[in-house]
Chain A
């Protein structure tokens, strides 16, 4: 795998070229190579002045929340992430003489996913949000632990067992045909593999990254923006929503609804 950095032109800042897997590939390389959109496609990335970026992100966030797709789990979490990114961008760029430009993906017109993930980590470090919001924001970088559930006397594998289940969440993205796809995976982690294999009916699949994690719910939505802010035309669609019968998906939805990124940009803008 080669990463070519474009130091001069206004085109893509870098290009990742996939090569055939070698024995010497590191775990990271294998992981990146396994992700078709990171490795196979050329990312075209643009940068914006942070205040312009905040305006753009704010508009997109508002549109997602107002759309019907905003009720879906993945866009809901993505809207939180955008809100948190706005908050941290404003905090980091308070000094107008010392600002840093914000990366946007040219194809989707949305903030660059990896840069947003980094911003979310900064947000968590700076604002120390409540544990569940922290986990949701952190899940844009990998499997984050939302919380634990004590499950006593589960008889799915015959004999009753007491389990301590870890609820995990992960958000990933994909850019395909000019559309940005955001996917939310809800996972259960347990040492008891029999429980993971037998308890979750209708829908469950093993996680590729964690052998003790089983994915029990998937929410996938797509976003397509046309025009500078997506104001020319935008489309939000729910692509996939499925979950195991044993998962109380409404409880999870309720948890997400209760979360809030304090002092959102709207509030700050209103006060100015």
Chain B
């Protein structure tokens, strides 16, 4: 007999098991779901950060936010979790930046959990009503947990040192705004691709 080839060709003759078939099918569905979910999550978080920024600076509860307003705020990376101006000249900015992440990170994850909880698999979109209901239901627990963190008031609290604005961080027109932002980003990506080509 001849010596075998150094590199064996891949030859899939053993059929996948029922379990493997099922997991492969779910993996395929996940592949389609993942970009839609991640984009929605990113947009929802950006909207909440931007709207929360307005409410923190100048309280205007229940005021709708237009797409143009959102784009301005988003372009400037505005968020309600940020270093206050009083630290602008502070030498050790990293010290506070770490604390910033300590609150911004869990907040993003919490929003992610809420988006997942209010996701409709059938429609492949977030159910806004459910999302807002869950957010308001769980917000108290979130504030309670994180208000114990050092510098919470500095990083999240408003200029008078309280966080009541946190109950107004969801714009009343979230559904429409979300659709507009998703469409806007879709168009942006399309244009970028065309330019690249």
Residues of A bordering B, CB below 8 Å: 121, 124-125, 131-132, 134-135, 138, 141-142, 144-151, 153-156, 165-167, 186, 188, 199, 245-248, 251-252, 255
Closest residue on chain B to residue A151 by CB atoms: B14
Given contacts A156-B17, A248-B15, contact A149 B10 (CB under 8 A): yes
> Contact size class for B?
10 to 19
Q: Are A247 and B8 in contact (CB under 8 A)?
A: no
**B1 contacts A138, C-beta separation under 8 Å:** yes
Q: By the criterion CB–CB under 8 Å, are B13 and A186 in contact?
A: yes
B4 within 8 A of A: yes
What would 25 A/B residue contacts be, using CB atoms closer than 8 Å?
A: A125-B2, A131-B9, A138-B1, A141-B1, A141-B2, A142-B1, A145-B5, A145-B8, A146-B9, A147-B10, A148-B9, A149-B12, A153-B23, A154-B17, A155-B17, A156-B17, A165-B14, A167-B11, A167-B13, A186-B13, A188-B14, A248-B14, A248-B15, A251-B12, A251-B13
The one of B1, B8, B19, B20 in contact with A148, judged by C-beta atoms closer than 8 angstroms, is B8
A147 and B19 form a contact (CB under 8 A)? no
Q: B1-34 CB contact bits vs A (8 Å, 1 = yes)?
A: 1101101111111110101100100000000000
Give the CA-CA distance A149 to B8 in the complex, in Å. 9
Q: Given the interface contacts A156-B17, A165-B14, does A147 sit within 8 Å of B9 by beta carbon?
A: yes
Write out the residue numbers on chain A whose beta carbons fall within 8 Å of the beta carbon of B23.
153
Question: In whole angstroms, how far apart are the Cα atoms of A125 and B15 in the complex?
Answer: 33
Which residues of B come within 8 Å of A, CB atoms? 1-2, 4-5, 7-15, 17, 19-20, 23
> With A and B bound together, what is the CA distance between A245 and B2 in angstroms?
31
Known A-B contacts A153-B20, A155-B19; A246 and B14 likewise in contact (beta carbons under 8 Å): yes
Pick from A144, A148, A154, A248: contact of B10, CB under 8 Å:
A148
In the bound complex, CA of A153 to CA of B156 (Å): 46
Contacting residues, chain A, for B10 (C-beta < 8 A): 147-150
Q: Which residue among B1, B10, B12, B13 has the maximum number of chain A CB atoms within 10 Å of its CB? A: B13
Question: How far is A142 from B23 in the complex, measured between Cα atoms in Å?
Answer: 37
B16 to nearest A CB, angstroms?
A: 9
Residue of B nearest to A165 (CB): B14
Report yes or no: A146 in contact with B11, Cβ–Cβ below 8 A.
yes
Q: Is the CB of A144 within 8 A of B1?
A: yes
With A145-B8, A147-B8, A165-B14 in contact, is A124–B19 under 8 Å at CB? no
Contact A121 B9 (CB under 8 A): no
Residues of A within 8 A of B2 (CB): 121, 124-125, 134, 138, 141, 144
Inter-subunit contact A247/B15 (CB<8 Å): yes
Tell me, in angstroms, the Cα distance from A199 to B19 when the chains sit together.
13
- Interfacial chain A residues near B1, Cβ < 8 Å: 121, 138, 141-142, 144
Q: Which residues of B contact A186 (CB under 8 A)?
A: 13
Q: How far is the CA of A167 from the CA of B14 in the complex (A)?
A: 9
Give the most central of B2, B7, B23: most A CB within 10 Å.
B2
CA distance A110 to B5 in the complex (A): 30
Contact B12 A248 (CB under 8 A): yes
Given A153-B20, A155-B19, CB of A134 within 8 Å of CB of B5: yes
Min Cβ gap A166→B in Å is 8
Given A121-B2, A134-B2, A138-B2, the answer on whether A148 and B14 have CB atoms closer than 8 Å is: no
CB distance from B15 to the nearest CB of A (A): 5
Q: Smallest CB–CB gap between A28 and chain B, Å?
A: 14
A248–B13 CB distance below 8 A? yes
User: A149 contacts which of B4, B14, B17, B19 (Cβ < 8 Å)?
Assistant: B14
Asked whether, in the complex, the Cβ of B11 is within 8 Å of the Cβ of A246, the reply is: no
Please give the distance in Å from A61's CB to the nearest CB on chain B.
22
Bound Cα distance from A69 to B15, whole angstroms:
25
CB distance from B11 to the nearest CB of A (A): 3
Chain A residue with the shortest CB-CB distance to B9: A147
Residues of B within 8 Å of A150, CB to CB, are 10
Per a CB cutoff under 8 Å, which of B5, B7, B11, B14 touches A255? B11
| Contact present for B13 and A149 (CB under 8 Å) | yes
Closest to B5 in A: A131
CA distance A150 to B8 in the complex (A): 12
| Chain B residues positioned under 8 Å from A251 (CB to CB) | 12-13
| Nearest chain A CB to B6 CB, angstrom units | 9
Are B17 and A247 in contact, CB atoms less than 8 angstroms apart? no
Q: Which 9 A-B pairs have the closest CB atoms?
A: A147-B11, A147-B9, A148-B8, A131-B5, A141-B1, A145-B4, A248-B15, A138-B2, A131-B9
